[in-house]
Structure 1
Amino acid sequence: MNDVIFLRTSLQALVAAVLFTAMGPASADDTRDLYQVQCASCHGEDRLGGIGPALLPGNLSRLKPEAAETVIRDGRPASQMPAFGEQLDDGQIRSLAEWIYRAPEVEPTWGRDEILASHEVTHPDGSLPDEPRFDADPLNLFIVVETGDHHASLLDGDTFERIHRFETRYALHGGPKYTPDGRYVFFGSRDGWITKYDIYNMEVVAEVRAGINMRNIAVSGDGRYVMAANYLPHSLVLFDAHNLDLMEVYPVMDKDGESSRVSAVYAAPPRSSFIAALKDIEEVWEIPWPLPTEPMVSTGHTTSPQRSHDTANFQVRRIPVPDYLDDFFFDLEYEHVIGASRGGQGGMVVNLDSGEKVADLPLEGMPHLGSGITWEYEGRRVMATPHLTKAAVSIIDMTDWTVVKTLETDGPGFFMRSHANSPYVWVDVFFGPNRDRVHVIDKKSLAIVETLIPEPGKTAAHVEFDRYGDKLLLSLWEEDGAVIVYDGDTLEEEKRIPMSKPSGKYNVWNKTRYEEGTSH
């Protein structure tokens, strides 16, 4: 993919525009005019993005305004963003940074026509060789997302050598998703881009933009479909996974016409369906996909020339719930969904077959259910979740939905990970002054048995095991960070791989086999 398509810095064109004027913009009108003259060609007239990313408040949520000023002043290492501290005074820098965080005067739209126009197929499905270009176990590979300079690394899960490093879209979000055979991986970005990447050939094969502010994507259990969840516009979008051809756009609204942002969409393979969490409607949506043995007939929807689909299989089933559910966790059979209530004061369990609430959960402190995991404890299955605003890990009996134990931690956490073959659970304390620590919990005793500090003062977060549960990777979540390899039994550090703010690490086996120790 050419370099122009992959301009990554959301501020570069804006800063370059300032170089054409001796003084910074004196008013909002001046700033608007300057944007149209100098920036619209890359970022779109309505700031919806083009060859550069969208410049809207929701899309810049990971970049604080103060940090934006720093980037303008000092540049961004290992990127195309230079420093302009010598050319611009503090007032100009502040004015420029403030502009991109202003809400647009007209609500932007992104529908079927815009999605179709964005679609690009570089290598049509089946056009690249079927054998990997590397000598490694295809099911024990890791994709590591490096958010510091918008790249991803492909790691051999046996040797932990880097096979390849490649550029990604700006601000990936929601975790990459694999096809069941592990050959393809799909990335989703904050500004709506879905990228299909052929791991065997290390090539981008197709891209499409599903929305303006996208939360995440999900891939069906058979690898044939991709669904995107959007904050803006309020929609779910369905694609044929082979070439990312558009199949259906679902406006998300209730029976009274009230629309909703979509918090996330998940694949539920045992149910052959997608499950969507809605931010502003007291409903959960289930959208089934057809089984591979079902005949597929054309219904006139836009698909690839070689494939057609019966979109009657993708009808929405609305499941009313007593509260807004922002975050989800599923039992292993996908019979129940455990959702966090708005405000973080608890959760509830809903039976997806009956649509009935079966339990309330006393989970104060905003549980991060999306990172929850399960394991067997004294003959019963338990789930555990960290909390985003409370220094605790809650462990819940999934038989009667009672709290078995609440562990006190050194701070609120974000990620939990384990493996069926590991005796331990790892949880970070991502938020607060102790973010350089990670706790190790014994599954049998339900006690914290070790607290590691990989590097004092640097954020330690997000563990992922290899396919066997023998080794694991932990991130030093810093611009000059690293991925650290640990022995899963001795807890000893074995290796460090320098990386630029490595956020998530995703093992092919664990993600495609829905390993119980990783989030789904």
Structure 2
Amino acid sequence: MSRSESPAESVAEHEERIKRHLSASREIAETLEFDDDLSFEMGLPSPGRRTFIKTSGVVAASAALAGCAGDDDDEDDDENDEEAPSAERSETVQLAAKQYEFDPQEIRVPPNTELTIEFTQSTFEENEDFAMHTFYLEDPYDVGPVELPENTNDDVIDSVTFVTDEEGTFQFECNVYCGDGHAQMNGQLYVVPEGESVDKVDFTDMETLKERHEVLKEESELAQEPSHDLDLRDIMVVTERNNASVAMIDTVNDEFMERVENVGKAIHVHDFHPDLPEQTREGAYVYTQSRQGEMYKIDLFDFERVAVADAGTDARDIAVSRDGDYVIGGFYNPNHLVICDAETMEPIKRIPTHTVNPDGESLGSRVCSLYDVPEEGLFLAGLKEGGEVWLIDYTQDDFPVVATIECGRTLHDGFFTEDGRYFMIASQTDNQMDIIDTHERRHVAAIPMDGVPHPGPGALYPDEDLAFTTHAGAPSVGVWNTETWEAEKMIDVRGSGLFIRKHENSDYVWADVILTDTEDDAYVYTIDPETLEVDQEIDCSQWGAAAAIHPEFSRDGEKVYISVWQGENESILVFDPNTGEMLTQIEDLLAPTGKFLGVRAEGH
């Protein structure tokens, strides 16, 4: 399919648009600092799903970008009035917005509370050029954005009241860019489950971490034979973003198998037990990490939750050790790593991620990526603000950090070379891919890329020693040589993207388009790795997609799966990876996003 014509857009206009789009999801800085919250958060949710009991000042729900108010019609208002939740109690909390943080960062209330948030100070200590913060509380509450103009005293600027009728942890944020530290300007509303204390949980205390661990089903109670006849490597675990669930997909017959509920909101990563390829009881598990900070162990014989470790309120990544003994989780809040026993999920070690960043500032850092280093007995952790890669030795009882390797600013995700020796990680503020030699434990290269490299799981073409990344801030795909560590080409593509993949048995590299804020977000495309040119573009809107993301291959490489996570029919599209023909559509899914195949266990 030919590329559609679009009006010319200057570099400055493109950068400003991306800034606005990223800022609508909190994670943006002046140099296009990018955070994976945006991976599945395009703008703000549609208005009208909640009734604000009382408000003063400007409170507007936006359907797109910050500052663009949405209008409800009378029918929606009537519907909301009829569904207005009831409250059992009331509480008022005062919230101040500072540069770059909210105070307090966590609001804890019982369920069914009529909660009033009064907004007081709104200050700009770090940069006087800014004069406006906002407050936005995410789905399912959809509160705001509330405009918070500069206010240096304790007067109440504005307030909003709603009923906390949904339990769980929910992010709030400033969605207007307010300077280089804007990525930190967020917090959590914790609606405490019935019967649980509203006192703040200290996730930095090992005793507390152990107390919040729970075995949901004893190993002896689990099915000893699978309830299906599928090779575990052919099971695809799909995040259903809006439902705190994962869907199990049969990639042989391309069918929905089962849904596992209540495994945490917006799971970001799944990793598999290294013994999974053996098809035995001992290895039949997948481990998940939700953005709410819960790490679950799930049985792949009968699709049941086995155990959970609740070790924070905001998290992204998880990894399983090659020996199958340990699971490590990386957190945004608190800034730490937590290592668990892989059998029971009981926390056994906490590692604070405090360091000195590339600018010499002492700080706590969020953990953006986690991997087992092939054949090394090491976990690899990427520290986002810290700009460092840490290597943690899990063959020693005390799990020492045996190397801290300096990279660029604002690290994100990365992937290994085919031999597993080199790890290639995105430094998104510096617009480069940093190369780590995990054998010699040192930084070996920094390869310039376009704006905001976002490789996701990345793509390799070993025949020509090539690696590929999409860019969240530029309509291009970056290509570099894994022998010389030199950039080979920037391939012009339809728009910025988040995920790119290649299978050894496929002829083409597949990638998505997202963040364009246009109909182009429904496109995926293929790249010929020999010519380094776009070969084909596929408009997924013909199958009901408004946003199509995250290509993933079947185990044999004969099919590629694309998530339709926004549109008329939330589903997974199945394509022939070489011809681009749409083969089938797996329907009845709930906002499918990331997809992880059991074959990944062979990477251990």
Q: How far apart, in 1, do the equivalents of 2:200 and 2:91 lie? A: 24
* Per-residue deviation, 1:272: 2.0
Q: 2:136 aligns with which of 43, 48, 65?
A: 65
Q: 1:110 aligns to what? A: 203
2:13 maps to which residue?
none
Q: Does 1:474 align with 2:545?
A: no
Q: Which has the higher strand share?
A: 2
Say whether residues 1:212 and 2:313 are aligned partners.
yes
Q: Contact 1:278/1:324 (CA < 8 Å) preserved in 2?
A: no
2:111 equivalent to 1:39: yes
Whole-Å Cα distance in 2 between the matches of residues 272 and 160 of structure 1? 36
Residue 172 of structure 2 contacts residue 188 of structure 2 at CA under 8 Å; is this kept in 1?
no
Q: Deviations over 1:348-400 (max 9, x none)?
A: 223233343322211120111333211124xx311000001000001111110
Alpha carbons of structure 1 residues 351 and 261: separation in structure 2 relative to 1, 3 Å: same
Partner residue of 1:233 out of 308, 312, 334? 334
In structure 2, C-alpha distance between the alignment counterparts of 1:27 and 1:107, rounded to whole Å: 15
**Number of residues paired by the alignment?**
441
Indicate conservation of the 8 Å contact 1:193/1:209, yes or no.
Answer: yes
Aligned 8 A contact 1:344 1:367 in 2: no
In 2, Cα distance between equivalents of 1:389 and 1:469 = 29
Q: CA deviation at 1:239?
A: 0.7
Deviation at 1:213, TM superposition (A): 1.4
Name 2:86's counterpart in structure 1: 19
Partners of 2:488 and 2:470 in 1: CA distance:
14
Which of 478, 483, 504 is the matching residue for 2:572?
A: 483
Aligned to 1:446: 532
Deviation by residue 1:481-519 (Cα, 9 ceiling, x = unmatched): 11111122332112112222110111111x1123xxxxx
2:513 equivalent in structure 1: 429
Unaligned runs of 5+ in 2: 1-48, 54-82, 96-103, 116-134, 145-157, 174-185, 190-198, 277-283
What secondary structure, in the 3-state scheme, does the structure 1 residue paired with 2:317 have? strand
For 1:286, the equivalent position in structure 2 comes to 391
1:370 pairs with 412, 437, 456, which one? 456
Cα distance in structure 2, aligned partners of 1:332 and 1:448: 24
Partner of 2:76: none
Residue equivalent to 2:248: 154
Structure 2 partner of 1:272: 377
What is the distance in 2 between the residues matched to 1:243 and 1:323? Answer: 37
CA RMSD of aligned residues (A): 3.6
Q: Which runs of 5+ in 1 are unaligned?
A: 1-10, 44-63, 74-89, 291-309, 515-519
Q: 1:18: Cα distance to partner?
A: 6.2
Identity over the aligned pairs, expressed in percent? 26
Give secondary structure in 2 for the equivalent of 1:412.
Answer: coil
Deviates more, 1:255-264 or 1:448-457: 255-264
Q: Which of 440, 450, 454 lines up with 1:354 in the alignment?
A: 440
Q: What residue in structure 2 maps to residue 48 of structure 1?
A: none
Question: In the alignment, is the contact (CA less than 8 A) between 1:192 and 1:212 conserved in 2?
Answer: yes
CA distance in 1, matches of 2:345, 2:109: 33
Relative to structure 1, the CA distance from residue 152 to residue 96 in structure 2 (aligned partners, 3 Å threshold; closer, same or farther) is closer
| 2-structure distance, mates of 1:359, 1:138 | 38
Conserved in 1, the CA contact under 8 Å of 2:249 and 2:258? yes
- C-alpha separation in 1, matches of 2:416 and 2:547: 28
| Equivalent AA in structure 1 for residue 470 of structure 2 | P
**Which deviates further from its counterpart, 110-119 or 339-348?**
339-348
CA contact (8 A) 2:473 2:496 kept: yes
Mapped to 2, the partners of 1:37 and 1:409 lie a distance apart of: 47
Which residue identity lines up with residue 379 of structure 2 in the other structure?
F
Task: Identify the residue that residue 83 of structure 1 maps to in structure 2.
Answer: none
Q: Distance in 1 between matches of 2:143 and 2:188?
A: 22
Name the aligned partner's letter for residue 503 of structure 1: T
Judge conservation of contact 2:233–2:555 (CA < 8 Å) in 1: yes
Residue 165 of structure 1: aligned partner: 259
- Structure 2 length-normalised TM: 0.66
Partner SS, residue 311 of structure 1: coil
Q: What residue number does 1:462 align with?
A: 550
Instruction: Find the counterpart in structure 1 of residue 425 from structure 2.
Output: 339
Aligned to 2:21: none
**SS of the counterpart of 2:522?**
coil
Q: Is 1:495 aligned to residue 589 of structure 2? A: no
Deviation at 1:25, TM superposition (A): 7.7
CA contact (8 A) 2:108 2:200 kept: no
Q: What is the letter of the counterpart of residue 262 of structure 1?
A: V
Deviation of 1:129 (Å) = 2.8
Residue 148 of structure 1: how far off its partner (Å): 2.8
- The alpha-carbon distance between structure 1 residues 322 and 67, as it changes in their structure 2 partners (threshold 3 A), is closer
- The answer to whether the 8 A contact 2:331-2:337 is kept is yes
**Partner of 1:136 in structure 2?**
230
Q: What are the within-5 Å matches in structure 2 for residues 66-81 of structure 1?
A: 68=139, 71=142
User: What's the counterpart of residue 601 of structure 2?
Assistant: 512
Residues 366, 388 of structure 1: 8 Å contact kept:
yes
> Structure 2 CA distance, aligned partners of 1:463 and 1:192?
26
Match of 1:120 in 2: 214
For residues 30-82 of structure 1, give each alpha carbon's deviation from its aligned partner in whole angstroms, at most 9, with x where no partner exists: xx9xx8774399x9xxxxxxxxxxxxxxxxxxxx9386487579xxxxxxxxx
Amino acid at match of 2:111: C
Task: After superposing the two structures, state which structure 1 stretch, 121-130 or 250-259, moved more.
Answer: 250-259
Per-residue deviation, 1:441: 1.2
Amino acid at match of 1:133: S
TM-score normalized by the length of structure 1: 0.76
Instruction: Give the one of 462, 466, 472 matched to 1:388.
Output: 472
- Letter aligned with residue 202 of structure 2: T
1:244 aligns with 2:345: yes
Shift of 1:158: 0.9
